Structures are given as C-alpha cells and as structure tokens.
Structure 1
C-alpha cells in the first residue's frame, strides 16, 4: 500500500459508499484498492459511509408506535449484523461496543417517542457505527485512515418556515469552501472516514439530512473542502433510463447535465439523492456514479461540462408513496387570495409542495415524502386546516410516472402514440414542468410499474451504446454476472429435440403438452374456483384441447365453429358442459348453439329485444361491462365505453324486464376486463361488481370472472400470484349475499408458455448502425408484435450457450414495414441456417395466423 504523510497534499477526493457496499465484506478489498490508487495519485481521500443496509430501516421502525419492538431485541439485531460483518472482515467484535452501548441507552430512555430530536439521535446511529467499522477495516489493510465525526463540520441552518420534525429529520445545510476546515483535514491522516446522513444544528444536537442523505453529506463536504470530484459508489453503476431492477432493457446514461440529473433524482431515480445536486451545481463539482462491485464499468458522469443535447427523453422514472391533495370548491372561482390562503396552510405546517395544477374550481397538488414528513397525524391535521377553505380529498397511495429529458414540450407530438399506455388508467394529475425537463402523470401506485415498462419500450432508443449519452443496457452489463439464475424454460432443456423436430422445415410452432398440464394443475388447485374453462380461441390444436379436457378443464368458445371443432377433437365431450360466449354473431348461430345444447352467454340487449322468443324457457348467462378494462394494449381491453363487449351495469333493470317477458332465467353473470393482466386484484374487483349485480337479479347461480390471466413477457418476470388470487376470491366469496359457483376461463395462461415458434435464419443485413436478422416466417405466423406491440423473448437456439454480443432487429419475409418480430435484441453473431426461437407463442400465435402474401404460416408440432 502507498503511504502518504499528513499535510503533503491539499487535493481532496470525496468517495461515498452506500449501505449495500459497506455491508458486503467482499467489497472492502475493492474499496481499499480504490483508496490506494487515489492516494498514489497524490490525493487526500475523504470517505463518507452510509449505515449497513437495513440498519436505518430497523432503527426508524423504533420511532413508530405500530412497528416498535423491545429495545433489547433491536440492540441485539443491530449488534448481530455488525458482529457478523466484523468476523468476516477479521476484525475484533468488541470494536463497536461503546457505540452499541450508547444505542441501548438511547432506546431505553424514557423519551417522547414522537420527539424528532430523539428520533434523529436513534436513526443516525447506523452511520456512526459503520464509520467506525470502516475506519478499522482500512487501517487493518495498511491504509492511514482516521475517523472524523461529520457533525463537527456540518451545521444545519434553521428555517422558521419548516416544521420542527423537518428541522431534525430532514435538515438543510449550506456550505462553501472553508479554508479552516481544509486546514483541519489536511492535518489529519491522508484518509478520513466520516459518517453520512448526520449533521448538527446550531445547538450541537444531532440532525438528519433526510433519507438518502449520505449523498448530500458527500457533496456538502466536497464544497467545504473545495474538492473537484465526488465519487458515489452504490449497488448500481449510475443513472439508467429506468429502474434496471424492473426493466433489464434500461440503458446506462453515461453523461448527464446537472439540470437533467437533478430532475432524474427528484422524479425518482434511486442512484442519487436530489439534494446532493445542489452543492455540486453551486460549486461546479463533478460527480461520478459507479458500482462498488464492478468498478470496471464506466458509470455516469454528472458534470458542468456536459453539453445540452437536443430535445430527447432520457429516462422514464417513478416515485411511489406520493400524497395527492385535491382542493375543490366552485366558490374559489375568481376569488382573490384563495391560493395564498391555501398555500399558507402548507407553509405554516412546514410542508413543501411538489407539483401543482389549477383550474377555476380545483387545485391539485402533490407532496413528496422525500421532502416532507407525511405521517397520518400530519395529513389529518392538514385536512382539518384546509377544510376551512374548501372540500379536501387526500390520497396517500399515489405514484408519479415521469418522462424526463431536455425540451419535453417540443417533442410532445412525437410522444403522442406512446401516451396511449395511459388509456384505461385513472390519471389524477398531469404536469408539464416549467423548466421543460419533465412530463409527469400522477396515477395509482399499483399501475406505476407497468406504465414505466410500456413507456420505456416505446420511447427510449434501443442499441448497445456508441454515443455520448446512452450506454449499454443493464442486461448487457450483467447478463453473465447475474447472482440468481431464473428457472430455465422448458425449451432450453429440450433444445436438441426441438432442433430435431424442425429438421426438414423452415418454421414451425412446437407445443409442450407437459407445460399445458402444469398450467392446468395450477389452475385446478384454486380452492375458491368451482370450475375452470379453457378459452380455446387462444389455441385450438386438437392435442391441446384433449390435454386440457383430460386435466379437468371445460371448454369456452366464441363461435359455433369452435364448438364443433372441439366436439370433433375430444371424444365424449358433452356440449352441455361447454360455454359459448359470442359477440355480434348472427341469429342463426345462436339457434345452432341451442340445438347443440350448449350454455349461452349474451352481451347485447338487441338479442332479448328482437330474438327473445328463441330463448323462451331457457337459462342464460349475461356478459356485463364492469366499466373499465385492463391489459397490455388497448386492443385487448374488453371493458369500458370504447369496447364493443358487454351490457352496461346501468341496463340491468331493463334486462330483467325483458327476461321476465320471455320466461328466461338469468342464472350466470360474466365479465372479462382484458388480457395479459398480472394483478390479482383485477378479478377481486370483478367479483365484487358481479356479486352486487347478482344480488340485484336474484336467481344467479354462477359468477364467471372471465380470463385474462397474464404470463410475464420475460422468463425472469414476476408471474401472476395464483395463491393471492385464490385467497382474495375466497375472502370475497364469503361476503356475497347469496351462494354462487365461481368460474374462470383462461386461455393465454394455459398455453402461452407451452408454445414456441421456430424459424430458420434466411439472411442477415446491416444498414448503418442497425443490424437485421431475417427469418423464414413473420407476421403471417405471429402477428402479435405488429398488432399489439407484444414483446416475445427471442434466442438463437442453434447458439443458445453463446453470449449475446450484437444487437439485431428480427424480421420476417412479409412485404410490410410492420413485419417485425423483435427490435433491439442482444444475440450472438447469427448466420444463415441458424434456428431462432420465439418464446411464449402458444397463445394467439397459430390461432391468428394467415396466408398474407400467399405465404403459408408455420406448421404446428407437438411434444407430448
């Protein structure tokens, strides 16, 4: 190790290490190497550390009555975690005894648990412990390191407009270069370790810089010392175009301006706290965001030298836990001073307003929990005060979804198609930032993840980097280094058999009946569901129909042609055990279904008004429109006024009168909201809606919740939680006003993962920076990408074990620009004759195929 004597250099480098970094014993050799390299270049290094991952959460839980545990239990947990790390690092476990004893004394104090001063002392202990541990660890590696309490040099400024809680738990500091502080640190060891997150007020009491405040500690101290750079190390290598933990296609942002970085951090990017940008921008400090475990990755540079690029969306980010406040009163129209009175309430309570939108009779605004203490007590008091002025609604469980980048308003016309993803989502507020850096939507928290995923796919350019802004994707950076390998899909285990089955053919669908049976078994395990029907429009292959019936599922169809096909394919299938759910079919088809003896669902009053005599004395199901639909694309949402399906709930009385007039019994109710849904509460809401309709109609015996059970696009995606779906339905079923059977009718869920489309590579091509792989079939076999923008995983089955090192667009032979099976896919170098596999194509693949261009679609094969 290099040794530098105290006082030999005044060039300071600030390095901050996050909680995940310091908690991993394997990182400390990397940290020591980085520090040694900087010392060798003549720099003095100041290290800022966060608390070990999870410690701050544990301590913060002690400040809330509902999560508080016995003091001894918390102390033991904190001690155990630190001792475990000390042992792995080869350090004495009694090293932290004095600090741990101090924590025990604080927890045992007979203090007011709501006192923010006491809370600050408790929650800040994590950094005091980790900084002492970090100092000892570096010293043990031969580095001349010394600990300095950051409360000795960081002092918060009092602000009479902020609440007492905010002054202690989200304190503000302002710093400029201070020669006295610089001389003080120059007289210490070449490496100084300091706790992040904590500072002191003018009275010397401990205050906190808000959650994520260690980033702010680093830039504040850099400003004090006149440092030119701050290196922020965490468990990600920088800022990405979206949260890479949820979107593997998110791309690293290599160079970002202060303004854009501030906006990204403020709107939800987690790699950097927004407050950290203020001292950096004020003092021209360059920030380097890097990953502790992968220091070889370039990371993100935030610098005053970053030139402003043209208008472009740089990232899609979200913030959850947002509180929405709606103020409404017709009396506020043209009322002078209303806004001043309303905002005075926020000022007096020390609450910082984030986004605001106004109209003649409504003001809607948001509160960011990162800048405010928005506990239930605070919100109750806020509502009480504002209610003196107008009607108030406070919604605490919201999220913001923001498109961030320079010049947003100049490219709104280009964003139009992408904004279709918000259709069928309730939007509480839309805000276009005055600084022209973001377009933000406030929505229900539960919709945020899916909206970000859809927007990212449509707005962010694909590729592998090569420019100064967009770097490689998360998937490209970590594909070989993933710590947890997802379960291998069935087709990877049967690669050789698949290649053999394609012998002599250019393309083929191949279905695994074992995979179909497994899906049926999962569905049949649901205790709350009395009957599962397979929606055969997803895939009507005879072997699949025989497999699902043998597994105990019934058949749901949408045409009499489908019904006859099923009856011809499955020996012994009873028509009375089938359900026909058609839409806008001719009268003759209904009559044919009646002749076959099938159960029927109707979804239009015209049928009862004009053809009611055909159904006299019969039992029917009604398909109702619950009012709003869900799904991965607007064309698969099957509820709401823009969907052709279902009878509006408002027409139930009229339906009952028509049924009575023709002696028709309404024995079943049905609703289907859309396709590809991964939220279990979708069917819970449907059951609540149909349960109320059943109470109104009286004779209902069956509630059919439809299908739409989603399958993740990617093999490592989070699947639909069947257990949660089952449990929720069971609870709601007990609350129904009358006993009914519950049915579901999935299609995609049964067969999607069971099917793959194989196609041989015919040609490859390059056009500038874009590479193409042409395959033997295209949208004539699989139209979902062109029709719905559907995403299917694509692999080179021939070279399955080779790493992807090129980005391709995978296209077919059809004479249409839309004949694209996949854009920007990371694949190995592919050659003519290779076999490409397109996954999750068992549903609505062959079923929707055509002979467009007079090209035969892929044939269908089965692995039994």
Structure 2
C-alpha cells in the first residue's frame, strides 16, 4: 500500500532562525516515524520578501547595491549561526541577485518579469539553507524546485501574469511518479513558471496556496499550515485578548474568516484543499502541542451561532444613486461593465431601487487616475460618490440569519452614526456592515465580547488568546479575582433572604491610586453617582481623588462623610433647578454649566464666577444607548457650533470660562479615546481667553467577562502625553466612576427555586432587578457563579432570574452553572458600580444591603 503524503507548510517566521529548522526536523521526523511521507513547503525568511519587493525602488534611487548586500547578509548570518556553508547553490543566487539589481539601475526600470524573478529569490535562498539545515539534523531530504512542477494558468505577459498567477490543482500522476520512493522533500512556496520558462509568483501570501496545490496534486492525506500563532481565532488577538481559538471549522467557515480579514491563512489556500477533500490543520510552530485549528468538510458544530468577528479597515465605497435606475432593465449590467472596463474589482454589493453601493477589493494599484476614470464613465448612468476610509465588520457563523436579533445591542451604537452598507451572504455564513473607520474596531469588540467571549470551551471554542499568550502567573491573577480569594468570608456574609452588596476596599484603593498616578492627569474626581457608600468614598479620598457630584444631594452627602475643601468637589448638574446652581456658587465648588439656559436666563448668578462649560463632542461611546452622553440625541453638553453663543452669554453674565469638559459615554476601552476628546476640547479652547483646564470626562471601561478586553492604563497615559505635547499649557482633569468601584463589588444572594421550562433551566434567586437593574436597563453582562459550588464541573446552561414581576428581571441568560440547589449562594461579579445606588423598592421588595471588607 502506498504511504500517504503529509504536506507541511512553514511561514517566514517559522523558517527565520536556525533553531526553528530543528523544530521543523522534529515535526517531519514524527510524521516519518508514523509511516507518512512528508513534503515541506516553505516561505522566504521573515522580512526578506519585503526587502526584495523594495529592492527595485532602491536600485532606481542608486541604493540597490547596499539593499542587495543587506539581503545577502541576512542569509550569510543565518548560515554562520547554523554552522552551514554558503555553498554553490546559494552563491549562484547571490550572483543573480546582484545582476538583476545592476540591470534595473542600468536601464532605469523594473519590469514585472524582473520583479517576479527578484521576489522568487527569497524562497530559493531559504531552500538552499533549509536543505543543509535538515541534512545537518540527520534527515535524508531531497530538494525540489517548485517551478519544475507548477505551470502558471495565466500565460500572458502583463503584470498580473507575473506577480499574481494561479496554478492548476488537479491530481498530478507525473509528480506522484517523480516523487515515488522519496520520504522527505523540501520545496518552495509562492513560485511557478510560465510556458516560456520564466519565473512567476502567486501573489503575496502565495506560499499557503502553493502548499494547497501540492496537497491536491499529490492527493495528500493532510495539509498542515505551520505559522507563529496557534490557529484561527474568533477575532484578531490585537483587537481583543478575549479572542478564542477556533478548534474546528468547515472549509466554508475558514474561507469566510480568511476572506473577511483573518490573516492566519491566505483565502486562496482553502479552495484547493476543499475541492480535493483534504483536511487542513493550522498549528503553531513554536507551540506544536496546542490543538490548533482543524479545517474539514465537517464543522465543529452547525448550530446557528457567531464564530468569528473581523474588521477590515481601509475600505473604499462607490455610491451610485439616481431615479434612472428604477425598473431599468440591464442597469446593473451597464454599471458593472464600467467596473470591468476600468479594471476595478468589486467586493460587497448592496442595491435598492434608486441606490447601488459597492465596496472595492483592496488593490495597491488602484490609483487616483483609475478611480477618476471609473467615476467619469459611471456619471452618464448615475450620480457617483466615492467614500474613503471606511471599515467592514464581518460576522461569520452558520445560520447567521437566525441570530441577527442577537446583534441588536451592539448595533444600537449606530443610531447616531451611519451604517454605509449591509451585506448578507447567500450561503448564510456571513453578515457584514460597513461603517466609518473610527467605529469599526469598537463595533467588532462589542460584538465579540457580547456574543463570543463568554462562550464555554466546546468542540469549536478553545482557550482565549489571553490564556494562551500570557505567562501562567498572569493568567492566574486574571482568573482569580478578589472574591475567589475571600470566598469563605463571602459565604459567611451571604444573607438568608434578599441580597447583599459586598465591597473590597483594597481593590477600590488600588484602582483609585492607579488613576491618580497617571502623570498626565492633574486632577481626578470620582463620579460618586457610581457608588456612594461611605467606606468606598473614604477609600477613594484617601487615594487622593476628589468628588464629582451631579446633584446637591450628592454634594451634601460627600460633605457629611468626608472632610472636603470646596476645591475638592466638582459639581456637574444637568437640567437642575436654579437653586442648585445658587447653592454650588455659595459653597465655592467647581461648577460645570451644561447648557445655555442658566447663563441666558439667570445671568445675575454668575457675575464674577469662574465656570466650566460642558461640550457635546459628537463622539458617542459606550456599549448601550443609555450610557452614551454625546452625539445628536444626547441631552448633555453644548454643541460645538453653539460655543460662540455660550461664550457671549458667559461674557454678558460677567462669568469667566476657565475650563471645558466633555464626556462621551461609559465602558470605553480604546486608550486613544481621551486623547481624541482632549484634542477636540483644545481646539475649542482657542475661542476662549481664560481656559486653563480640559476635563476629559470618564468612561474608563471595565471588562464584563473574564476574557474581555481590559483597559490599558499605560496606553491611556501614552496618549495623554501625546495630547499634552500637542496642546501644552492646559491642566488635564478626569472623572472616573465605574472604573474605581465596579470590580470591587459583588452582589450575594441565595437560590430560591429551580425550574425547567421549554428546554431552559431557570435558577431563581432572592433578589433581582430591584437590587441590580443594569442588565435590564443597559443590557449589561455580569459574571455569575455558584459560590457554594465554585470550581465544580458545569452541568449546563441556566438563566438566572429574580423574584420581581417583570420579564426584564433577568440577571443573566444562558450561563454555565454546575448542578444548583435551593439555598446555594450565587455571586454576581463586577457589581460595585450602579448597583445599590440605582436600587428600588419595586414590588415592595427590600433591595440588597451593603457592607465593606477592609
């Protein structure tokens, strides 16, 4: 019986160092020992393809010799470190590299044919070194020039034929016969030849596709893609550390993820494997024991669910409008004929009776001249607008149509911002929205954190990137919040009936000190509406943070609990009665004016007063409409175009404007947000003579799930330093609220009843939305655990509900819980903010009490 082939592809980082070839040898030997034959397909050494791509320009600028020498030195250093010789094969490639570089400089141009041959040098030089490295590792290996096997399908002489070609993928008996009797073969990715014997390449990322071609031609048992990450993830880990490893996907799912912005594998490599029925595995060269991602005809599961979210920036839209397209037969044919004639490739399409909007495939060669030509040729057919700098957010998963309702909370963010295009794939695998570029990442994060991040480990979802990438100590710290360390104390405190909020004061102190230690922040004021517990307020004041109050009731409470100077209080009322402004001015606290009415209707109050104006920056942020405090629908702040009127009103009243303030919303995890707000305020401050401070607001985000993205305070500080450099001379203030107290608080309550209904397990607890209204009001997610049975294996999903007579009394839907019984203590985490302060006596039920642990 013929032994099966395993095709192993190794990317640029996987072949970049001599030690890596020892790993490659070990992996190949393991397959050999299992009775398999191995074909290794490899890329150029990391960074070399980029250097070769830049070489023609360097040569035309008279710097080609130095650039070529740097490329050769990279390979000489590799050889020296590995104890290998620069043999005749490698030296011949060096000589050819020099000749091509000199030729470009001599004739003053670099044809596509020459550029293709240059680009191929990276793989060929890596092969010369790789053969020696495998032989040194004790393996009998045969080299194969991929150009002897791959003949290009496009036999033309244009740039695409040389730089972005394809290859026939049919089984190749001649190749199978040629390799008969060989156990280990090393060859290159990315390169092929045309009928004239000239070198062509398969486009950037073409090594993945080469490996798939080889697998199909050899009718291999499996195709392995070895790279520097452990597989495909549910999102780019740079987007969120909660991105989950996808352990099993269908070909179609993997194709969608790769096409819509996933960069682990090239989109074109899936097709040949799928058509040949060859299973693929994506694995980590440096952590081969991790499970990786298996791609085959069978998905990990086919239940309707979201499996991946991606965001693709730099999207260009072409918007075509006009009544002339209504019921006009052949209109789309005419339009797309123009795109074809102009050589412009279309990606997404959205149509209506009077509008056709398309996004364009990324194409580095799509310059302004070709876009102008496209617009000119379309204009006789319709009105044309070209929109730059959009972002496509794509959601991939089986049965995407059946879960569209789950996207609603994230899409609520766009009630004030346009969605430029919506596209739903006919295969029911993909749903894409195109939004303005600044909104893309935030939307993708919200979708991932709400619909994927909290999912349990299954046949599809593996560990998160945070769990894989972080040192074990860091993972333990993130996985063990304070309430796990103090579990016994909490169990003893749990009430028999109702609920109890418990606050960990060391956590409060640590968060307050972290914010107060930001070097770029001159003053921090705690937004005490988040939690007004006296012990909490004292801990925050002791960390050096002042109090931000939104009512005179809060001001009076703060003054009763704390020893505060007037300058330690920032009063920020909104639509408050006149009496509150009068009281604040008498006390001498910092006063923020939220609209024109107080200045125009009560000017006598402000004669001689120093005031801060609150600005609406039209940058709404937050996970839910109710936590957004900016934008056209927000009741807060003065619109930027109304600031001249506010200035005039202040001057007429005799007030001096010394500061500007803006707060866009809550739950922000993008460190650049406060820099953006500060830049808006600094620009607005140029209109005012006496402004000395910029209050950047709060909204510092808190992760709602263990693997959700956490705010990088160091990143915030970096951005604030840049802001201070660009806008010197201003004090910077900040008013954090939830960030200081949310993770410090938990809500304890006991299980009252268990109910099974229509396949759903309901766990009833002794308090509900009367104590914690955030899930009902904001759609907020809180981690919920059975503290009595912490660490026990889950028994399935359950929805945790309270005793309030409202359907909205749902504290958490579909959470993994162990077997749970009446009397068990349930803990609701991240409940230290907007919990007790928003509670009520609805249904005449007593809300949860509160206590603090020192």
Aligned mates of 2:772, 2:508 — CA distance in 1? 20
Residue in structure 1 matched with residue 268 of structure 2 by the alignment: 275
Offset of 1:607 from its aligned partner? 3.2
Change (3 A) 1:287 1:328: same
Residue in structure 1 matched with residue 574 of structure 2 by the alignment: 583
1:204 equivalent to 2:219? Answer: no
Residue in structure 2 matched with residue 3 of structure 1 by the alignment: none
1:28 equivalent to 2:24? Answer: yes
| TM-score normalised by length of structure 2 | 0.82
Residue in structure 2 matched with residue 127 of structure 1 by the alignment: 123
Offset of 1:351 from its aligned partner? 4.5
Q: Deviations over 1:282-302 (max 9, x none)?
A: 444444545564568484332
Change (3 A) 1:235 1:703: closer
Offset of 1:451 from its aligned partner? 2.0
Change (3 A) 1:307 1:532: closer
Aligned mates of 1:101, 1:632 — CA distance in 2? 60
Residue in structure 1 matched with residue 660 of structure 2 by the alignment: 669
Residue in structure 1 matched with residue 175 of structure 2 by the alignment: 181
1:729 equivalent to 2:723? Answer: yes
Report if aligned partners of 2:754, 2:821 keep a CA contact under 8 Å in 1.
no
Aligned mates of 1:36, 1:247 — CA distance in 2? 37
Change (3 A) 1:49 1:197: same
Change (3 A) 1:803 1:154: farther
Aligned residue for 1:607, secondary structure, equals helix
Residue in structure 2 matched with residue 542 of structure 1 by the alignment: 534
Report if aligned partners of 2:528, 2:737 keep a CA contact under 8 Å in 1.
yes
Aligned mates of 1:63, 1:540 — CA distance in 2? 66
Aligned mates of 2:441, 2:313 — CA distance in 1? 13
Change (3 A) 1:501 1:363: closer
1:380 equivalent to 2:372? Answer: no
Aligned mates of 2:762, 2:87 — CA distance in 1? 59
Change (3 A) 1:796 1:233: farther
Question: Alignment partner for residue 605 of structure 1, among 584, 593, 596?
Answer: 596
Aligned mates of 2:387, 2:76 — CA distance in 1? 39
Aligned mates of 1:359, 1:522 — CA distance in 2? 52
Instruction: Please list, as runs of the form range in 1=range in 2, the aligned pairs for 1:223-238 lying within 5 A after superposition.
Output: 223-227=216-220, 229-234=222-227
1:152 equivalent to 2:148? Answer: yes
Residue in structure 1 matched with residue 212 of structure 2 by the alignment: 219
Aligned mates of 2:544, 2:293 — CA distance in 1? 54
Report which stretch shifted further, 594-603 or 321-330. Answer: 321-330
Residue in structure 2 matched with residue 744 of structure 1 by the alignment: 734
Aligned mates of 1:300, 1:490 — CA distance in 2? 28
Aligned mates of 2:750, 2:143 — CA distance in 1? 62
Instruction: Please list, as runs of the form range in 1=range in 2, the aligned pairs for 1:70-89 lying within 5 A after superposition.
Output: 70-80=67-77, 86=82
1:452 equivalent to 2:444? Answer: yes
Aligned mates of 1:82, 1:711 — CA distance in 2? 49
Residue in structure 2 matched with residue 47 of structure 1 by the alignment: 40
Aligned mates of 2:148, 2:262 — CA distance in 1? 31
Question: Alignment partner for residue 627 of structure 1, among 595, 618, 623?
Answer: 618
Offset of 1:127 from its aligned partner? 3.4
Offset of 1:148 from its aligned partner? 0.9
Question: Alignment partner for residue 93 of structure 1, among 71, 79, 84?
Answer: 84
Residue in structure 2 matched with residue 756 of structure 1 by the alignment: 745
1:318 equivalent to 2:310? Answer: yes
Instruction: Please list, as runs of the form range in 1=range in 2, the aligned pairs for 1:502-541 lying within 5 A after superposition.
Output: 503-506=492-495, 509-526=501-518, 528-541=520-533
Question: Alignment partner for residue 161 of structure 2, among 159, 167, 173?
Answer: 167
Change (3 A) 1:289 1:702: closer
Q: Deviations over 1:516-558 (max 9, x none)?
A: 4444444445554443222222222334433443444332110
Change (3 A) 1:608 1:219: same
Offset of 1:561 from its aligned partner? 0.8
Q: Deviations over 1:120-141 (max 9, x none)?
A: 4444444335545555565566
| TM-score normalised by length of structure 1 | 0.81
Change (3 A) 1:337 1:777: closer
Change (3 A) 1:31 1:781: farther
Report if aligned partners of 1:601, 1:621 keep a CA contact under 8 Å in 2.
yes
Report which stretch shifted further, 533-542 or 764-773. Answer: 764-773
Residue in structure 2 matched with residue 302 of structure 1 by the alignment: 296
Report if aligned partners of 1:316, 1:401 keep a CA contact under 8 Å in 2.
no
Q: Deviations over 1:353-394 (max 9, x none)?
A: 32244678876443334xx335xxx52333443464569876
Change (3 A) 1:29 1:805: farther
Aligned residue for 1:193, secondary structure, equals strand
Question: Alignment partner for residue 420 of structure 1, among 403, 412, 415?
Answer: 412
Residue in structure 2 matched with residue 651 of structure 1 by the alignment: 642
Aligned residue for 2:460, secondary structure, equals strand
Change (3 A) 1:52 1:517: farther
Residue in structure 2 matched with residue 4 of structure 1 by the alignment: none
Change (3 A) 1:455 1:71: same
Report if aligned partners of 1:242, 1:456 keep a CA contact under 8 Å in 2.
yes
Residue in structure 2 matched with residue 443 of structure 1 by the alignment: 435
Q: Deviations over 1:444-483 (max 9, x none)?
A: 45543432232234455975577xxx523334x9958855
Question: Alignment partner for residue 698 of structure 2, among 704, 707, 719?
Answer: 707
Question: Alignment partner for residue 460 of structure 2, among 453, 471, 475?
Answer: 471
Aligned residue for 1:696, secondary structure, equals coil
Aligned residue for 1:94, secondary structure, equals coil
Instruction: Please list, as runs of the form range in 1=range in 2, the aligned pairs for 1:799-814 lying within 5 A after superposition.
Output: 809=798, 811=800, 813-814=802-803
Offset of 1:635 from its aligned partner? 1.6
Offset of 1:821 from its aligned partner? 5.1
Aligned mates of 1:437, 1:462 — CA distance in 2? 21
Aligned mates of 1:727, 1:115 — CA distance in 2? 47
Report if aligned partners of 1:622, 1:666 keep a CA contact under 8 Å in 2.
yes
Change (3 A) 1:660 1:231: closer
Q: Deviations over 1:207-238 (max 9, x none)?
A: 33223322211222233334464344445565
Aligned mates of 2:136, 2:737 — CA distance in 1? 62
Report if aligned partners of 1:626, 1:640 keep a CA contact under 8 Å in 2.
yes
Change (3 A) 1:460 1:770: farther
Residue in structure 2 matched with residue 5 of structure 1 by the alignment: none
Aligned mates of 1:623, 1:184 — CA distance in 2? 76
Report if aligned partners of 2:226, 2:283 keep a CA contact under 8 Å in 1.
yes
Aligned mates of 1:157, 1:759 — CA distance in 2? 67
Report if aligned partners of 2:801, 2:809 keep a CA contact under 8 Å in 1.
yes
Unaligned runs of 5+ in 1: 1-7, 87-91
Offset of 1:803 from its aligned partner? 8.9
Question: Alignment partner for residue 16 of structure 1, among 9, 32, 35?
Answer: 9
1:694 equivalent to 2:688? Answer: no
